[in-house]
Amino acid sequence: MKSKKLSFNYFIHSPIIAAAFLMATSAIGPGFLTQTAVFTNTLLASFGFIILISILLDIGAQLNIWKILGASGLRAQVLANKIIPGSGYILTLLIVIGGIAFNTGNLGGAGLGLNVITGWTTETGALISAIIAIIIFINKESLKWMDIFAKALGMIMIALTLYVVFISKPPLGEALQKSILPDKIDFFAIITLVGGTVGGYISFAGAHRLIDAGLTGAEHTKEVGRSAISAILIASTMRILLFLAALGVVSKGLSLDIANPAASVFQLAAGNIGYVIFGVIMWSAAITSVVGSAYTSISFLKSFHPMIEKYEKGLLVGFVLVSLSIFIYVGKPVKTLVFVGALNGFILPLALGIVLLSIRNKKIIGDYKHPLWLTVFGLLVMAATIFVGLKAALSF
């Protein structure tokens, strides 16, 4: 009984688990749901191979970024400026612009989710979701609330999607076979999935959370690595479950609604109940991504001047309100959600390359010795994402 209690307390209070869920739920947003449904609809069981390749690339990217940042104790933009003067400002600009673009879609997704659940307009749902995010940020224990929020909603999303998988009854044998021997390899799908899972601000969400928790230095790199892998496994579990749920639908010859492919997966699989489940999952995915995007984007700004860190809460509120305003006046179509995921995939090799340049600089990483195999893994991920990105760009 005691060990269970300790395990539960560890799950609730551990920054290692908190960072993993923050990264995973930052990745699992409206774009994540949309991309998975869209690509399953076009690639069918062969999409399993795309997911497998993206998981390997994700792990290689995250382990390198998290371990090096953790060893240095520096946020990505500070480390980048020390390696290549000025590059931290460029990286910050890309992250913040991408974060606002994603958050516009995130708030739209949150509004859509509440629309499904309550019947409120999408704009009203987005406004209420923005208020909830702001309440979390202005709280005195905002990090604690952010952690609990990500963990609770992350578990709810996985449990509900697993339920729909059982109902949709996907062809598991075919999915396993095509995950190893696909009929088709879509390079745009690979770069989109990698970008949607570890691209842009998402790469740094958990690492910056661990830095804020004080888990820095060579003595903590094993814990940091464990957290990074856990983050990818959580996000990948959700991706696989969504893929299987969608495959169960399309393998029966049913057509997904192009306007809202993710919603039609749940509705076609489980009827009206499935549609409500979609609403809960969409809102959970979107609101946690709103929080993760704002937190990580502002973490890129606050090291540049003491005044920025002093007014961090105000900047977080402003970030959410700017994203909300863009959504209300511009909107966020499905194609843009997929495109922004791909764009983040192009940012990844740049960010990873800068981080890897620091591994021989003792002034930055101290006594930490980055494993050679992990460096090689990181370089392979860089090469693979550049190659896949160029192939995708040429075929787009």
Domain boundaries, the chain: 25-395
So what's the pLDDT on residue 225? 93
One-letter amino acid at 177 equals: Q
Tens-digit pLDDT string for the chain (396 aa)? 444 445 667 667 788 999 999 999 988 888 889 889 999 999 999 999 999 999 999 999 999 999 999 999 999 999 999 999 999 999 998 888 888 888 888 898 899 999 999 999 989 999 999 999 999 999 888 888 999 999 999 999 999 999 999 999 999 999 999 999 999 888 888 888 887 787 778 889 999 999 988 889 989 999 999 999 999 999 999 999 999 999 999 999 988 888 789 999 999 999 999 999 999 999 999 999 999 999 999 999 887 877 777 888 999 999 999 999 988 887 654 555 555 555 666 678 888 999 999 998 888 988 889 999 999 999 988 888 787 767 656 665
Q: Find, among 21, 28, 88, 98, the residue nearest to 285 by Cα.
A: 28
The total of other beta-carbon atoms located within 10 Å of residue 217's CB is 16
| Exposed e or buried b per residue across 352-380, where buried means at least 16 C-beta atoms within 10 angstroms of its C-beta | bbbbbbbbeeeebbeebebeeebeebbee
The total of other beta-carbon atoms located within 10 Å of residue 321's CB is 13
Are the C-beta atoms of residues 95 and 304 closer than 8 Å to each other?
Answer: no
- To the nearest 10°, the Cα dihedral for 336, 339, 343, 348? 110
Which tokens hold the place of 8?
């539960």
Cα 131 to chain centroid distance, Å, stands at 22
Non-local CB neighbours of 167 within 8 Å, separated by 6+ positions? 248, 269, 270, 274
Q: Find, among 359, 340, 363, the residue nearest to 30 by Cα.
A: 340
Are the C-beta atoms of residues 135 and 322 closer than 8 Å to each other?
Answer: no
* pLDDT tens-digit readout, 36-46: 999 999 999 99
CA distances to 21, 155, 170, 232 from 162, rounded to whole Å, are 18, 11, 12, 18
Domain 25-395: give its CATH architecture: Up-down Bundle (1.20)
Are the C-beta atoms of residues 52 and 176 closer than 8 Å to each other?
Answer: no
Non-local CB neighbours of 395 within 8 Å, separated by 6+ positions? 187, 188
